[in-house]
Structure 1
């Protein structure tokens, strides 16, 4: 009552729109009063129609009593069906249906009264045309009252927030685009205002959709006057190809419009549809078609099995854990040496998978005694080895650390997997292991060679599998989060070289392929993934700057800082003398790389580990070049070693 009083006072005391919109709902008693007034008006209006037609009513001496009976009956059914209970400003068809039920029940009741009065007195109490006319008029006016009230509040709210709302053009005129537009229209509290539709078609220029104009793409972007009426374009990723998204993005950004993306079609069934609208990200342009996983094979390998994931708190490791958890293993052991990330992951997984059993182990994979206890206790069926040092410049400065983790750690895990008869050991490697130019890539290649050599070693029953792929979007320390931070700070965006290119894959996509590869083959294979087309990092930076609403080299500077030690202009997934073999999965190939015998690689690994313990950098890299003979240093202090003869066995 207090809110209603404030709203009426606002009509006379300025700031009217703001105060009226604060009224959350019209009180129920007021809705009942208004509906009763509508009933009275409907009775009078129906009577007026009949009087003009010179129709005489039955029992005119009981007119007052008949009207009381009609009103009373209608009020009873209004109470039964609670036509007053809905919030008027949010009325839907369901509220209209309740009005029809209430008035329809009143009509049926009075028709029954008419039937019995005709039996008893030979004349019906009410004229039948009068009853049906009253029914139509009352239902129409009650519904009209609710729609007018709803629209009135929506207009007020829209006017109130018009200056702060983002004026958007929805791309497309299909069902998904229309559903999105309706959601925006029917939710005035959202920070978006529908202004029109955009399409590549040229046959819709004069048509209206939901009362809004449909603009042809070419005509729209050629008109500066039209563009000034909009702030952003809104597209739905799932109904567009990558090329279409890039085209719309380029056109919009060149004209200073923001580019927004709508939720996926699956989320469009949720009530909070518009709440999922967000800025288009560079990841949306790099994403590819979803991977088709043969879930039956993957489920079989994990269901009710014990699984170990090393590096489980990292970007790749944590996603492997999340995906494995979906296949209901008996236990997932998550092992990592990073305390805080491991604890944060523990909290996340316990909440997300309350019925899955986890064990979180804080350990260093270079400590074989610590690892052996873990293998002894849990008897793993699957081991996913994702633990590694991966940052090229840091490893180039500290090569001994790469030996301890990437080589010694892998050796410990692989030997323990063999000893405890793990069914499958899956190592996560990198494209930097191919024709390596840095210590990090070479150390991963050495780890690959050791893992492969175990496959045919005496007494082995474990299938040793290696997976190799390029950069993943959004991983810790990767280029996209780095660029994003630089843009947020106002630049400059730093790139090592204008011609540098990289392959990219999403983290979920990479991990799905790791799980799939883990079910394939007889062991000893190196699986390489289809990484799609390489991306020029300079183009990537320019797109990210534009998507953030800035102009490259004007608002945000791009500077070139030179290749870092050990860095390549481009990465390869296959070495020069490699033969590839297709698999039954279109995204996965087998790389036939040169092999080493276990005795040979084991002796060299022992030598390099000893050199690492002594912190002899040159000797560490010298032996590494003996193990990985294609390792040629680039832009590094270790280039001098390439002019030396190889270390003899």
Structure 2
């Protein structure tokens, strides 16, 4: 019988028409039998014309109404209206024919009985065929799923699953009492309290959370309950992603950390976002990075005159330019997108770009941010994060840029690693320049009105090096999950939300401001790992001896890594006009003093004097408390060599 599924659409339509051609006269005979309690030759002879006319009238009507165009496996409650309407028209036409031919006029009840019988046949035949065809098309390896959410989207997903070869919907779950006990898309709705019993009884393999309009906080509470069931959970995207009505089974995704955080974004202040961007010329450094690229996307939608992209990675720059060009076309924007393959350390080139195109706002996102890599390459980290910031800041001042926003990090607060220390020193550079309001270049002092500010926040989800995709890969591979320390905690925020807040914070303040984003509650990474395992339908080795149980291994903190991150150095913090943005009042170094330190640090970096570099970092960033020694691999290798060769000190150049 599975051959039926391989028939052409026209062949299936012919079968449906043939069935109606046979059964509709039979329904008329049934009506005669129910009216007269007998069907004999005389009765058939009397109503013969109407018996033959019934399918000949009904089938053209149903063709016109599109009944035979409907795919049986996809039919739903809408077919009821089509059938009732079509049968009603058929009955009226038969009555008109009976009047015209003077046939059976005194037995009008026959027509009513035929109408009811025909409706019952048409509906029963379609739904029975639908159930049978779905059973034929079911894949033996199809996943048995429960759908959490019996609203409009849940019904849509249930219908899609019914027609899918990959999923078998077993039941619907909803917390609304008015829906419990109902049947939607042929599937019964149960309360969530019945889940444990239903999962065991129906051997459910996955739960699909289909509540796109539900607040994140409510979804997080539901996920907390589902976690205990040890069943894999998937979730629909937010309601804004479904507005085009193009939701498919493929749109159901894995649980992301933002689902677990239960953090609902705050409506942005569009006036703040547009203040430094709309109808202006904007430059983004590090435009191809995680934060930089999202800044570019959101900036473009604010309709700047020009959007200038700076990056040292050819591939990253090509990728973001191509994406922005597509976004520009789809939104019919006139913004000119200009990519430049250049390092922020190239002060003259940056100044030429800034001056030539009269840039008004700079978002400086270019930085080395991976803690272990910067720890092993401290001089490169200092050059890029500190002197790169100084370079493009000076270029901005000379070019008369109005607004300069530095993307900073929570690792700049009481840093324990080189990366955090360099980001704090970058903040100090901008604070010093802002207070000084002058910049020296070849004995020429030029006044500047550039307004500097810094925006500091924690980990962003989905950035390169994020722990979430790493954990997912490790779970899919069967483990183990590698965790640095059982007590390590981090703040998390989505990239779009962070970028949105950066754009708003950049419009605040008078200069030299350090803005801190409200990151919500810190997340214990061990709890995050355990929840990801449970919501993948698996168990931990500490809970189960099953062969597919996932082990969590503690591998120890990496060089310079902190257990806890902070966002404030002191307690002096004020609110702003945005509820998630705070202004921190923090210590700074006078520019003349800082300039001397920077000159010494530059010389030490050029001479690869690692000990001197560490010493100067400690002097410049008072809160810097390194948790490890110098990790640079060249320095370690040179330490293994003899101190003297041929009577000369091999490390003589590094002693100054």
Q: TM-score, normalised by structure 1?
A: 0.82
Partner Cα separation in structure 2 for residue 387 and residue 581 of structure 1 = 28
Does the alignment pair 1:367 with 2:351? no
The range that moved more, 343-352 or 23-32, is 23-32
Deviation of the 1:580 alpha carbon = 0.2
Asked whether the 8 Å contact 2:273–2:500 carries over to 1, the reply is: no
CA-to-aligned-CA distance 1:440-474 (integer Å, 9 cap, x gap): 11111111111122334153222212100011112
Does the alignment pair 1:616 with 2:593? no
**Equivalence map 1:243-258=2 (5 Å):** 245=219, 248-249=222-223, 252-258=226-232
The range that moved more, 80-89 or 64-73, is 64-73
**Equivalence map 1:44-59=2 (5 Å):** 44-48=29-33
Q: Which of 94, 114, 121 is 1:137 aligned to?
A: 114
Q: Which of 5, 8, 13 is 1:28 aligned to?
A: 13
Q: Which residue of 1 aligns with 2:394?
A: 415
Asked whether the 8 Å contact 1:430–1:469 carries over to 2, the reply is: yes
Does the alignment pair 1:183 with 2:177? no
**Equivalence map 1:464-475=2 (5 Å):** 464-475=452-463
Q: Which of 542, 551, 556 is 2:550 aligned to?
A: 556
Asked whether the 8 Å contact 2:208–2:233 carries over to 1, the reply is: yes
Residues 96 and 382 of structure 1, relative CA distance in 2, 3 Å threshold: same
Does the alignment pair 1:158 with 2:152? no
Q: Which residue of 2 aligns with 1:644?
A: none
Residues 229 and 553 of structure 1, relative CA distance in 2, 3 Å threshold: closer
Does the alignment pair 1:631 with 2:624? yes
Partner Cα separation in structure 1 for residue 486 and residue 62 of structure 2 = 74
CA-to-aligned-CA distance 1:624-646 (integer Å, 9 cap, x gap): 222222222222239xxxxxxxx
Partner Cα separation in structure 2 for residue 299 and residue 146 of structure 1 = 57
The range that moved more, 136-145 or 293-302, is 136-145
Q: Which residue of 2 aligns with 1:331?
A: 306
Q: Which residue of 2 aligns with 1:434?
A: 413
Q: 3-state SS of the aligned residue for 1:466?
A: strand
Partner Cα separation in structure 1 for residue 567 and residue 621 of structure 2 = 16
Asked whether the 8 Å contact 1:181–1:194 carries over to 2, the reply is: no
Deviation of the 1:596 alpha carbon = 2.7
Partner Cα separation in structure 1 for residue 211 and residue 91 of structure 2 = 51
Deviation of the 1:526 alpha carbon = 0.7
Q: Which of 439, 452, 465 is 2:431 aligned to?
A: 452
Q: Which residue of 2 aligns with 1:574?
A: 568
Deviation of the 1:500 alpha carbon = 1.9
Q: Which of 19, 22, 29 is 2:3 aligned to?
A: 19
Does the alignment pair 1:535 with 2:523? yes
Does the alignment pair 1:493 with 2:466? no
Partner Cα separation in structure 1 for residue 60 and residue 394 of structure 2 = 82
Q: Which residue of 1 aligns with 2:638?
A: none
Residues 537 and 597 of structure 1, relative CA distance in 2, 3 Å threshold: same
Q: Which residue of 2 aligns with 1:279?
A: 254
Q: Which residue of 1 aligns with 2:288?
A: 313
Residues 182 and 135 of structure 1, relative CA distance in 2, 3 Å threshold: farther
Asked whether the 8 Å contact 1:503–1:531 carries over to 2, the reply is: yes
Deviation of the 1:323 alpha carbon = 1.3
Q: 3-state SS of the aligned residue for 1:164?
A: coil
Q: Which residue of 2 aligns with 1:121?
A: none
**Equivalence map 1:221-232=2 (5 Å):** 221=196, 226=200, 229-232=203-206
Partner Cα separation in structure 2 for residue 64 and residue 246 of structure 1 = 67
Residues 603 and 234 of structure 1, relative CA distance in 2, 3 Å threshold: same
Does the alignment pair 1:591 with 2:584? yes
Asked whether the 8 Å contact 1:267–1:273 carries over to 2, the reply is: no
Partner Cα separation in structure 2 for residue 129 and residue 262 of structure 1 = 59
Asked whether the 8 Å contact 1:287–1:506 carries over to 2, the reply is: no
Asked whether the 8 Å contact 1:320–1:511 carries over to 2, the reply is: yes
Q: 3-state SS of the aligned residue for 2:307?
A: strand
Does the alignment pair 1:262 with 2:262? no
Asked whether the 8 Å contact 2:516–2:567 carries over to 1, the reply is: yes
Residues 46 and 200 of structure 1, relative CA distance in 2, 3 Å threshold: closer
Partner Cα separation in structure 2 for residue 28 and residue 342 of structure 1 = 54
Residues 169 and 622 of structure 1, relative CA distance in 2, 3 Å threshold: same
Q: Which of 475, 480, 486 is 2:468 aligned to?
A: 480
CA-to-aligned-CA distance 1:585-622 (integer Å, 9 cap, x gap): 11110000112333332333233223212222222222
Deviation of the 1:252 alpha carbon = 4.4
Q: In the comparison of the two structures, how many residue pairs are matched?
A: 608
Deviation of the 1:404 alpha carbon = 1.5
- Over aligned residues, Cα RMSD in angstroms? 3.7
Q: Which residue of 2 aligns with 1:398?
A: 377
Q: Which of 409, 421, 424 is 2:403 aligned to?
A: 424
Asked whether the 8 Å contact 1:176–1:265 carries over to 2, the reply is: no
Asked whether the 8 Å contact 1:392–1:440 carries over to 2, the reply is: yes
Deviation of the 1:66 alpha carbon = 6.8
Residues 259 and 604 of structure 1, relative CA distance in 2, 3 Å threshold: same
Q: 3-state SS of the aligned residue for 1:390?
A: coil
Asked whether the 8 Å contact 1:199–1:214 carries over to 2, the reply is: yes
Residues 622 and 27 of structure 1, relative CA distance in 2, 3 Å threshold: same
Asked whether the 8 Å contact 2:311–2:342 carries over to 1, the reply is: yes
Q: 3-state SS of the aligned residue for 1:427?
A: strand
Q: 3-state SS of the aligned residue for 1:637?
A: coil
Partner Cα separation in structure 1 for residue 531 and residue 379 of structure 2 = 38
Deviation of the 1:535 alpha carbon = 1.4
Deviation of the 1:337 alpha carbon = 0.7
Q: Which residue of 2 aligns with 1:565?
A: 559
The range that moved more, 591-600 or 44-53, is 44-53
